[in-house]
Amino acid sequence: MPSLRLRPLALVALSLAACGPSESPQDAAGDATVRADTGVANDARVSPMDVVAPLPDAATVMDTGVSPQDSGTIVDTGVPVMDSGVAVMDTGVRTDTGVPPRDTGVLVDTGVPPRDTGVPPTDSGTMGCPAPPGGVSANAVLAYNLTNSTRRAMGLQCQTMVTTINTAAQNHCNYYAANRGIPMCVANAHAEVATCAMFTGTSFSARMTAAGYRGSPNFEVMAFANNGTAATQMWIDSIWHRTPVLSPWTLDMGYGSATGCDTIDYGTGAGGAVPASTIATYPYNNQTNVPVSFSGNEGPPPPPPPTGWPSGYPVTIYFRGTLATHTLTVDGSATEIPHVWLAPGAPESMGLLSREFVLYAHRPLTARTRYRVRATGTATGGGATTIDFVFTTR
């Protein structure tokens, strides 16, 4: 299969908006700008990264049967590891929780050249996923393919590209591109001002509804590369913005792009039918070619390690429950590697996590080394759970 290679991009701004935990989507608000000219305001979940509030837990219908015996241990799915070269990230993620999104525009530079995903723009049935709707842009196909090839490697369901969400995301990029030189109009990259050109809705949830989407909006992410592969990889390689891209419980998406703009809006879709006992990780079990570090250039800025940035590459555990212990080691060693730990409800998570746990080593990882992550806790419903998986750096 032909591969697509991208040249490394310059610093890209990421912006995120998210919804807070509630039964109905809230349009998150507030996002503190971390880097100049990111066009991202602050968002209580994660924005590029522009963050708002954590994904609404209510977006998932109910705890669908986590039994005490369901330990949810991650196993090797047997899915070939993807070579998804990392590009500069603009991981603006925004969750619409009924709270106006905060735009915390942050420039994200992973310092990792774009990865060759091996998915050409014409390959629209990635790893068994349905083809995207007819007539979508080449950039939309690229974003869809990289998203779902990654999800399938993790053992997750494909996200569905929804035409009405594409319309909402495209409308927002049109607005952003038309007004990017007018500070009043783009002070918060996720918000639109009614008096500015191309206005279609103040928040991403309003824009999705106006475009005809009838599901539950829950996130928006923005990047500023005008490249579906590069933007998606930036989101995947971030801390906050990775959340909706790879969440087992977020299944509707739509992509839009314009000069200097990439937007993906997300809806819960059929996520409520995904078992609450589902556990997923990124990196996934036995993944190889994993980057060794993360620059910390994300907004709102994640908590820095005590030694400062860069940190080790972020690890995300998607899990409904609580985790009491967590270790990161070189596989075969008993020596624990010091790391930052972010859990739902903790002050340092800034309200951006609800079913996601994140860890990253204080210092960059070592190249060509196999690492093991192990966590234990209790699943929603009371089941004792052990999560144990390995990955190897490039």
Q: What would the pLDDT profile of 273-285 be if each residue is shown by its tens digit?
A: 999 999 999 999 9
Backbone φ and ψ for 261, nearest 5 degrees, come out as: -150, 135
Average pLDDT over residues 290-319: 95
Note whether residue 3 is domain-resident: no
325 and 184 both lie in a single domain: no
286 and 207 both lie in a single domain: no
pLDDT in tens, 246-273: 999 999 999 999 999 999 999 999 999 9
CATH number for the domain that contains residue 225: 3.40.33.10
125 and 25 both lie in a single domain: yes
Q: Please tell me the predicted confidence (pLDDT) of residue 382.
A: 87
Q: Please tell me the predicted confidence (pLDDT) of residue 126.
A: 56
Note whether residue 86 is domain-resident: yes
Note whether residue 5 is domain-resident: no
235 and 295 both lie in a single domain: no
State the burial class of residue 345 (Cβ atoms within 10 Å of its Cβ: 0-12, 13-18, 19+): exposed
Buried b (16+ CB within 10 A) or exposed e, 191-221: bbbeeeebbbbbbbbbbbbebebebbbbbbb
Kindly give, in sequence order, each residue whose CB lies less than 8 Å from that of residue 259, ignoring residues fewer than 6 positions away.
Answer: 177, 226
- Range of lowest pLDDT (111-120, 166-175, 203-212, 306-315): 111-120
Note whether residue 139 is domain-resident: yes
Kindly give, in sequence order, each residue whose CB lies less than 8 Å from that of residue 337, ignoring residues fewer than 6 positions away.
Answer: 312, 328, 329, 330, 361, 362, 371
Q: Please tell me the predicted confidence (pLDDT) of residue 13.
A: 54
219 and 297 both lie in a single domain: no
28 and 56 both lie in a single domain: yes
- Range of lowest pLDDT (115-119, 217-221, 230-234, 299-303): 115-119
- The more confident residue out of 287 and 5 is 287
**Domain span holding position 301:** 280-393
Average pLDDT over residues 86-109: 39
State which of 240, 273, 306 marks the end of a domain. 273
Average pLDDT over residues 363-376: 98
CATH number for the domain that contains residue 338: 2.60.40.3780
Pairwise CA distance, residues 103 & 200, whole Å:
18
Rg of the chain (C-alpha set)? 19
pLDDT in tens, 134-155: 999 999 999 999 999 999 999 9
Percent share of the chain, pLDDT over 70 = 68
Note whether residue 379 is domain-resident: yes
Q: Would the pTM count as exceeding 0.85? A: no
112 pLDDT above the threshold of 80: no
pLDDT in tens, 187-208: 999 999 999 999 999 999 999 9
Q: Any bridge partners for residue 361, and if so which?
A: 339
10 pLDDT above the threshold of 50: no
Tokens representing residue 314 in the block: 């972020």
215 and 135 both lie in a single domain: yes
93 and 162 both lie in a single domain: yes
State which of 251, 273, 295 marks the end of a domain. 273
Note whether residue 339 is domain-resident: yes
pLDDT in tens, 27-71: 333 332 223 222 333 333 333 344 433 333 333 333 333 333 433
Pairwise CA distance, residues 266 & 133, whole Å:
16
State which of 273, 293, 328 marks the end of a domain. 273
113 and 258 both lie in a single domain: yes
Note whether residue 2 is domain-resident: no
264 and 294 both lie in a single domain: no
Preceding omega of 283 cis (within 30 degrees of 0): yes
- Number of compact structural domains in the chain: 2
In terms of Cα–Cα distance, which of 62, 61, 53 is closest to 28?
A: 53
Note whether residue 70 is domain-resident: no
117 pLDDT above the threshold of 70: no
284 and 329 both lie in a single domain: yes
Buried b (16+ CB within 10 A) or exposed e, 1-39: eeebebeebebbbbbbbbbbbeeebbbbbbbbbbbeebb
Q: Please tell me the predicted confidence (pLDDT) of residue 28.
A: 33
88 and 168 both lie in a single domain: yes
State the burial class of residue 366 (Cβ atoms within 10 Å of its Cβ: 0-12, 13-18, 19+): middle
